[in-house]
A and B are shown apart, each in its own frame.
Chain A
Amino acid sequence: MSDKTTMHQPLDEVPPPAVAPLDPRLLIREEGFKGYLTEFKRKLKGGELGSLPVILALVIIWTIFQLKDSLFLSSANMVNICYFMAGTGMLAVGLVFVLLLGEIDLSVASVSGLASAVFASLSVTHGLNSWLAVVLTVLTGIAIGAIHGFFFAKIGVPAFVVTLAGFLGWTGLMQWLLRGTGSLTIQDKGLLHVLGQRSFFMNQSIAGAYVLATLGVAALLIGSLIDQGRRRSAGVPFRPTSEILVRTVALAIVAYTAAYVLNKSAGVPNALVIFLATLVVCDFVLRRTTFGRKVFAVGGSIEAARRAGINVAMIRIQVFAISGGFAAIGGLFLAGQTYTATLQAGTGNLLMLAIAAAVIGGTSLFGGRGNVWSALLGMLVIQSIQTGLDLLNMDQSIQYMITGAVLLAAVVVDSVSRRTQRSSGRA
């Protein structure tokens, strides 16, 4: 078999299989709806809960608050929830990256507070152009994250200690920046204007919400169909059209309902639009780029990633830089809510809320499992609780206790589902 013609063929195109590649014991999905259901049940048993617990929790929370206060499900309140979840959500997005590595960043809230102070002092005290100040602020966050990453990846200090030190240190720097005045008023212009409470997509036009919903639904449908076509022509398994339609219709129902509800009030807050766009971009980065693949690999097995030629230290530094950057962006969002940089920014339960959001949404604390959409789902839960408790005039003490309990519940679900996944070979 030494004919020279085979020499330069790629290795993956050699002899035919000796056994049928398909395992007869494999549980093949039946076609159509019934198959969809059986697959769903099997996944549940295997601990692949996906987004189900969150959606269930959301329904329960909304029902309870609606029963307590009939204004809860009103359009105005929903707009409120959507607006206020964007800021903390940005912190949660950064945390998702860090959690995927199996690490934690305890500094995000304090970095977000520092970012608002940095922005205020740049744009107000030093009179810098508002957009330039935004860029410098975000770069500050990225640099801070990279410093954390450096100490963790290169020096070998555990991430939670580095970021705990950062938590204190950056709060101190913020207080130093705001020394004397204690707070700075930020001008309502540039990006901060877009992030304000009265800034809505397409200027409150009714069409705005529907344009967004249509964009989302169309993107899903077209993307799925293109993917199906490529897979079909390549001869690899593809999603049946029925499933694509079910998914698209499901998204359409959610998106158009949301658009309808928000439109009854002022429409879609621009802060939410930016948050959603960020999620789309981050989802792409994590699932469709080599960088994202490397993040998952490092979260799954550091040694395997290293041997595959991945520069683990570099990935770690980059991920912490991303987390720092999102913390800064989140800080700007939070500052935009009140147009002030105060000593209170980034304090209280902000850190816990951000971590809770990421974990509630389904990103595992143990690394290697999760997605950025968990920041959205988790924030919906968290912000609903916050807003609901505010509506009911609950004391902050109660809010803290409830947030703590919710975080604990999320972590318990994460740990338990990891155990079931282990025993059914999925983790």
Chain B
Amino acid sequence: MSATPVLALRGVSKRFGAVQALTDVELEVHAGEVVALVGDNGAGKSTLVKTIAGVHPVDEGVIEWEGRPVHINRPQDAQGLGIATVYQDLALCDNLDVVGNLYLGRELLRYGSLDEVTMEKRSRELLNTLSIRIPSVRIPIASLSGGQRQVVAIARALIGDPKVVILDEPTAALGVEQTAQVLDLVERLRERRLGVILISHNMADVTAVADTVHVLRLGKNNGAFPVKGTTNEQIIAAITGATDNAVTRRLARNAEATQ
């Protein structure tokens, strides 16, 4: 793992009116590392993702990219750096077809006009690797099922040449086979030495692919665990804030003892 993280958050805070969504959050992602971000509903995971993606800028704190502080104020800024994001709410245009959505904002051109043929061909290939059946890549997104849309949103993040891919609950709507494909994909991204931030409520998924688990609780860091050598119970305790009761302490001690 490289010494300088490709993406680092230093003391990031974000406020929405009366809600302090993030307080002094720290996070590091290295090239070739899969960081899982977990936490209860409303813990601030999506907010964190959106600050990195430039949907809403941070109030306080610094985002560092390859060691240098950067300002990410608009989605373009994040894309320019090489951050690709799959949002929890997918953010697709219902009226555009699958190809249109996949290439939105980075259309392929041929003699200055849209190269629909190449875009369509690549879209089909890309969707095939994700094992999704889509009636046609030329139908509007509105006619797809929830899971099909989610796969389109994931595929979207892979077009272009990102260095960091952020996946906000990418498997929430997916079936068994498609979930497996997405987890495989995450591993492929790691092999290609991309940084991945994966948000999920499914501990099995998290422990299957992640290297590090960061827990967010009520908008604050509540522990970072290497996946190897950490039990699900420890992570869940950090998520629920039960870290300080007797049972979890015993569990933690036992875990240390067995190592």
> A residues engaging B (CB < 8 A)?
1-2, 6-7, 10-23, 25-26, 227, 230-231, 234-237, 284, 287-290, 293, 296-297, 299-301, 303-311, 367-369, 422, 424-427
Chain B residues contacting A300 (CB-CB under 8 Å) are 93-96
Quick check: B191 and A1 within 8 Å, CB to CB?
yes
With the chains together, A246 CA to B94 CA distance in Å? 31
Complex: chain A residue closest to B131, CB-CB: A18
Chain B residues contacting A11 (CB-CB under 8 Å) are 126, 158-159, 188, 192
With the chains together, A114 CA to B117 CA distance in Å? 44
Min Cβ gap A4→B in Å is 10
Min Cβ gap A176→B in Å is 41
Instruction: Check B140 for interface membership: any CB of A closer than 8 A.
Output: yes
> With A230-B117, A231-B117, A303-B91 given, can you name 18 additional A-B contacts, CB distance below 8 Å?
A6-B192, A16-B128, A17-B128, A17-B129, A19-B131, A19-B133, A21-B134, A231-B120, A237-B138, A288-B113, A293-B100, A293-B104, A296-B100, A307-B85, A425-B142, A426-B142, A427-B140, A427-B142
Min Cβ gap A311→B in Å is 8
Chain A residues contacting B133 (CB-CB under 8 Å) are 19-23
With the chains together, A230 CA to B116 CA distance in Å? 10
Complex: chain A residue closest to B135, CB-CB: A26
Partner of A288, one of B87, B106, B114, B127: B114
Quick check: B121 and A307 within 8 Å, CB to CB?
no
Closest 10 CB pairs of A and B: A368-B95, A300-B95, A300-B93, A308-B105, A425-B143, A17-B128, A12-B126, A288-B113, A304-B91, A309-B105
Quick check: A306 and B75 within 8 Å, CB to CB?
yes
Complex: chain B residue closest to A285, CB-CB: B113
Quick check: B93 and A297 within 8 Å, CB to CB?
yes
Quick check: B53 and A307 within 8 Å, CB to CB?
yes
Task: Provide a sorted-by-A list of 12 A–B residue pairs whose CB atoms are within 8 angstroms.
Answer: A2-B191, A11-B158, A11-B188, A14-B188, A18-B131, A23-B133, A234-B121, A235-B121, A296-B96, A368-B94, A422-B142, A425-B142
Partner of A308, one of B75, B122, B138: B75
Quick check: B129 and A12 within 8 Å, CB to CB?
yes
Min Cβ gap B155→A in Å is 8
Chain B residues contacting A306 (CB-CB under 8 Å) are 55, 75
Quick check: B87 and A307 within 8 Å, CB to CB?
yes
Quick check: A17 and B131 within 8 Å, CB to CB?
yes
Quick check: B118 and A234 within 8 Å, CB to CB?
yes
Chain B residues contacting A369 (CB-CB under 8 Å) are 95
Complex: chain B residue closest to A287, CB-CB: B114
Complex: chain B residue closest to A290, CB-CB: B107
Quick check: A18 and B142 within 8 Å, CB to CB?
no
| Main SS class of interface, B | mixed
Quick check: B177 and A19 within 8 Å, CB to CB?
yes
Quick check: B128 and A21 within 8 Å, CB to CB?
yes
Min Cβ gap B157→A in Å is 10
Instruction: Check B181 for interface membership: any CB of A closer than 8 A.
Output: yes
- Chain B, range 82-126, C-beta contacts under 8 Å to A: 85, 87, 91-96, 100, 104-107, 109, 112-114, 117-118, 120-122, 124-126
With the chains together, A308 CA to B109 CA distance in Å? 17
Min Cβ gap B138→A in Å is 8
Quick check: B95 and A236 within 8 Å, CB to CB?
no
Quick check: A305 and B93 within 8 Å, CB to CB?
yes
Complex: chain B residue closest to A15, CB-CB: B129
Min Cβ gap A396→B in Å is 39
Chain B residues contacting A1 (CB-CB under 8 Å) are 191
B134-158 to A contact mask, C-beta < 8 Å, 1/0: 1110101011000000000000001
Quick check: A234 and B104 within 8 Å, CB to CB?
no
With the chains together, A369 CA to B79 CA distance in Å? 28
Quick check: A21 and B127 within 8 Å, CB to CB?
yes
Complex: chain A residue closest to B139, CB-CB: A426
With the chains together, A232 CA to B126 CA distance in Å? 19
Min Cβ gap B99→A in Å is 10
With the chains together, A335 CA to B140 CA distance in Å? 42
With the chains together, A326 CA to B22 CA distance in Å? 48
Instruction: Check B76 for interface membership: any CB of A closer than 8 A.
Output: yes
Partner of A304, one of B53, B92, B122: B92
Known: A300-B93, A309-B75, A310-B105. A12 touches B55 (CB 8 A): no
Complex: chain A residue closest to B99, CB-CB: A236
With the chains together, A306 CA to B93 CA distance in Å? 11
By CB atoms of chain B within 10 A, which of A2, A6, A234 has the most? A234
Complex: chain B residue closest to A301, CB-CB: B93
Min Cβ gap A281→B in Å is 12
Chain A residues contacting B127 (CB-CB under 8 Å) are 21
Chain A residues contacting B74 (CB-CB under 8 Å) are 309
With the chains together, A11 CA to B189 CA distance in Å? 9
Known: A14-B129, A234-B121. A305 touches B104 (CB 8 A): yes
Quick check: B76 and A309 within 8 Å, CB to CB?
yes
With the chains together, A273 CA to B159 CA distance in Å? 42
Chain B residues contacting A284 (CB-CB under 8 Å) are 113
Chain B residues contacting A424 (CB-CB under 8 Å) are 143
Chain A residues contacting B120 (CB-CB under 8 Å) are 231, 234, 236
Complex: chain B residue closest to A289, CB-CB: B113
Min Cβ gap A18→B in Å is 4
Chain A residues contacting B75 (CB-CB under 8 Å) are 306-309
With the chains together, A299 CA to B113 CA distance in Å? 20
Quick check: B100 and A13 within 8 Å, CB to CB?
no
Chain A residues contacting B114 (CB-CB under 8 Å) are 287-290, 293
Partner of A301, one of B76, B94, B177: B94
Quick check: B117 and A21 within 8 Å, CB to CB?
no
Quick check: B95 and A296 within 8 Å, CB to CB?
yes
With the chains together, A3 CA to B124 CA distance in Å? 26
Quick check: B91 and A307 within 8 Å, CB to CB?
yes
Chain B residues contacting A231 (CB-CB under 8 Å) are 117, 120
Chain A residues contacting B193 (CB-CB under 8 Å) are 7
Chain A residues contacting B122 (CB-CB under 8 Å) are 12
Quick check: A297 and B140 within 8 Å, CB to CB?
no
With the chains together, A6 CA to B114 CA distance in Å? 29
Chain B residues contacting A19 (CB-CB under 8 Å) are 131, 133, 177
Chain B residues contacting A422 (CB-CB under 8 Å) are 142
Chain B residues contacting A368 (CB-CB under 8 Å) are 93-95
Quick check: B124 and A21 within 8 Å, CB to CB?
yes
Min Cβ gap A299→B in Å is 7
